[in-house]
A and B are shown apart, each in its own frame.
Chain A
């Protein structure tokens, strides 16, 4: 059975989606999502063990040998993503039960869980597939389900956010489609490995160059790289808390992975970073993203918007890493990808608890939180320090890795941008802590009810994970290590 894992980890969540619909009972649907998450996590762990030695799992769908058929490829470069996405899914499943029930009308919840299963399927599919068009299809699955999920937010503004995301996201997807098409026209192939083998002969072909540009612009939209980040703040801030948690921790991350996969193992660094100036463009956009995102975060009056903007900044960090096109850089990217997912996930989860207890996450509603809700506030404070990159938090580890990578390449300006952005992070995190700790509790902060255990546990699980990765970063570091060598090593591009 172990040979079938690459297929199963995607098929089981897929199977759970229609079942959610069939049962139409909240509990059953929730169990289905939990099952899907656990199953994919199990598969991911097993496969991580299988590829630990640096080898690659290839799975031929329908038994048709690629490039005739579609294949799944599991290797060092996507195992971290599989683990990340499925782990977050499990956490969100634990977290979401009460959170969703408190925010969504109960008749919709089974459908919502179906959407979550589909989103999980889509993300895992993008990560696992070795076929460019198949990647597009799964990208659309993930996108469509996330549009629906975001639209489920409380306020009417959520609908607008979802629609804007839909339009921008679809344009991005069509750009990817165009790029894939142009590449297909000059190679006749859709299989990533086959493309990687055929493309070098076609280097210099203008259609191919344009194709690469379209693909990367398309992914840049999905990654919310500055200046294509417009959709992100509204989308993350307006979505239901559990959804924000899931998307913030996985959505952009998977897009970033796809970008790296295409850049290094399909088009090849030689084309992307030497013939095309994507390294310089990437670094400058990354620096701008760090600065703009962090600065904007400082001016937010709503916690979820603040977090969303800081996500824009952190996408910048990750982009800066792989734009160096060095092993260290890619490693730093993966490291920050994992760490930031955990940190931001915990923060959005905590925000969800506040949403449940206070009915609002506007900053002034948080005054005196340190006394009224010490645990939740503690989670926010600790994870916030992670965003800043205080030593012994996960944030510092990945920022350190990124800093050294940047210095090795002599990218002083980017480093400066990174430092400034970290200091801005001090400002926006400091604002939250200050309000929560040094302001008297206001009327609304005298919170109603108690925090559901499941939500608290899930949140703190992520917080503790981020702390652990800060103190003992061996696990993420080794994953990132394997990923970088798989992407840049002979095995990959």
Chain B
């Protein structure tokens, strides 16, 4: 590979940026090597996962040193480079910390549901995480795009993992929708940006600041937001429910954290470093997309309300919650933006908990429909306790971290004096209340139907949701530590 050089920071710091990407790849290699020793294979990936989490968190101290690592000049005028900045590191941390947990969970889940091709499963899982890290740390649009596409291709086989016709169909929808948006809209947008700005390097204050008229900006912004299909903005959200055919761990990490958060993360990153909040604030470049996001938020909420399959309901809830983040970006003021960033975190933690619980329920009693959950709260207290906390956080009620993110978003909306959007946000929360709380109610207050008695799922399946639920509470306390660095960046220029 090309020579390693770095402009601002000492080389050894810079090389540190490679580790988060390298570690999961290493894990993947180990998995392939150990394919005949399941236990070794799984414990290896857990260990590497923990290591990754540690490494990524250890990067926080140097987050403001503008560490940058130019890997090599890939195409004329385009170098593949990684750079450290708070927003990216925030996303990286979320994915990295939740990965080992998910691995623990999936060990129990895949075992007790007797899945096959586990080597392929763990390998692609690691690959996906590596891609997510790459996206989080990429320093320019092209580098980012590469990671984005690799993420798509790495997760496609995971979606179709079961291999039954339904799984294959889901996989097709997933792949085609994500590729059509990324190749058809995102890539042209990137090329266009490159032609306008002469570079695709992210810049504080925005690449396109006073480089394009409002009309062009509006079009570009639309191209980006629709092109980033992983943000599941309607009408390009269809892949997310389709992806629910995947085993629950996949839905948990990828379709609550890595993939979808990669989507909204790119949205935030683009609006901050490509457009620049100032540029977006003036004129009405974002008006249209703002309303698209609002519509997505509400419609998805209603759809979630109307779907009985638990995972499907969670999927639509994700679509709706992602719209919050996008909305934060489109409001284009620092408060709302911080709210979006924070929501990226709180929703990740909350939603992965919910998926974990869904998985735990499925493992314990093979139930996947909301209407079947009556009374399970007593059979599986831990699971449903976790579920409740996470649900509160998603809805935005104390003691869930989600409260702060939604609070900030509301503030942002008022600051941009968008009364209508305030209403939308509140309505969204009400909807989430409507589609999450009934589950809790059923589980705890309905009688358990007569049938085979069963307790909690295996430990490895129950512990992760409890941990993440605890994290939700933690976020309620420590939200400002999480968001402080982001606020700094936003206010910096």
Name A residues whose Cβ lies closer than 8 Å to a Cβ of B: 370-371, 385, 390-392, 397, 400-401, 403-404, 407, 415, 419, 422-423, 426-427, 430, 433-434, 437-440, 471-473, 477
Contact = CB atoms under 8 A, between A and B. Distances in A.
Query: Which among A391, A423, A440 has the greatest number of chain B C-beta atoms within 10 A?
Result: A391
Interface stretch (B38-46, B163-171, B308-316): B163-171
Given A385-B153, A430-B172, A472-B72, A423 B180 contact: yes
Interface in B332-358: none
Contacts of A370: 120
**Closest A-B pairs by Cβ, 3 of them:** A391-B146, A438-B163, A391-B149
B282 interface: no
Query: Which among B1, B76, B157, B195 has the greatest number of chain A C-beta atoms within 10 A?
Result: B76
30 contacts: A385-B153, A390-B149, A391-B146, A391-B149, A391-B150, A392-B150, A397-B75, A403-B191, A407-B191, A415-B188, A419-B183, A419-B188, A422-B183, A423-B179, A423-B183, A423-B184, A426-B175, A426-B179, A427-B176, A430-B172, A430-B175, A434-B171, A437-B163, A438-B168, A438-B171, A439-B163, A440-B163, A471-B74, A472-B74, A477-B75
B191 A404 contact: yes
Nearest to A368: B163
Contacts of B163: 437-440
B61 interface: no
Contacts of B120: 370, 437
B223 to A, nearest CB: 13
A311 to B, nearest CB: 21
Contact of B153 (A371, A390, A439): A390
B145 interface: yes
A390 B75 CA distance: 14
Main secondary structure of the interface of A (DSSP, over half): helix
B149 A434 contact: no
B160 interface: yes
Interface in B140-157: 145-146, 149-150, 153, 157
Contact of A392 (B146, B168, B187, B195): B146
B2 interface: yes
Contacts of B160: 434, 437-438
A125 B299 CA distance: 66
Contacts of B168: 434, 438
Contact of A407 (B74, B167, B195): B195
B146 A401 contact: no
Interface in B105-125: 117, 120
Given A370-B120, A400-B75, A426-B179, 8 more contacts: A385-B153, A391-B150, A392-B150, A404-B191, A433-B157, A438-B157, A471-B74, A477-B76
Given A390-B153, A403-B191, A407-B191, A473 B176 contact: no
Contacts of A390: 149-150, 153
A391 B151 CA distance: 11
Nearest to A397: B75
B163 to A, nearest CB: 4
Nearest to B72: A472
A394 to B, nearest CB: 12
A404 B183 CA distance: 14
Interface string B76-119: 10000000000000000000000000000000000000000100
A438 B179 contact: no
A471 B150 CA distance: 13
A407 B187 CA distance: 13
A422 B120 CA distance: 26
Contacts of A403: 191
Nearest to A433: B157
Contacts of B172: 430, 434
Contacts of A433: 157
A415 B179 CA distance: 16
A415 B168 CA distance: 30
Interface string B294-319: 00000000000000000000000000
A112 B191 CA distance: 48
A287 B145 CA distance: 25
Contacts of B180: 423
Nearest to B179: A426
Nearest to B161: A438
A434 B174 CA distance: 13
Nearest to B117: A371
A393 to B, nearest CB: 10
Query: Which among A427, A434, A438 has the greatest number of chain B C-beta atoms within 10 A?
Result: A438
Contacts of A415: 188
A162 to B, nearest CB: 38
A401 B76 CA distance: 9
Nearest to A392: B146
A472 B167 contact: no
Nearest to A391: B146
B134 to A, nearest CB: 10
A472 B2 contact: yes
A426 B177 CA distance: 11
Contacts of B183: 419, 422-423
A391 B149 CA distance: 7
Interface string B347-388: 000000000000000000000000000000000000000000
Nearest to B143: A391
A371 B175 CA distance: 22
B161 to A, nearest CB: 8
A124 B157 CA distance: 43
B75 A473 contact: yes
Nearest to A390: B149
A95 to B, nearest CB: 26
Nearest to B164: A438
A32 to B, nearest CB: 39
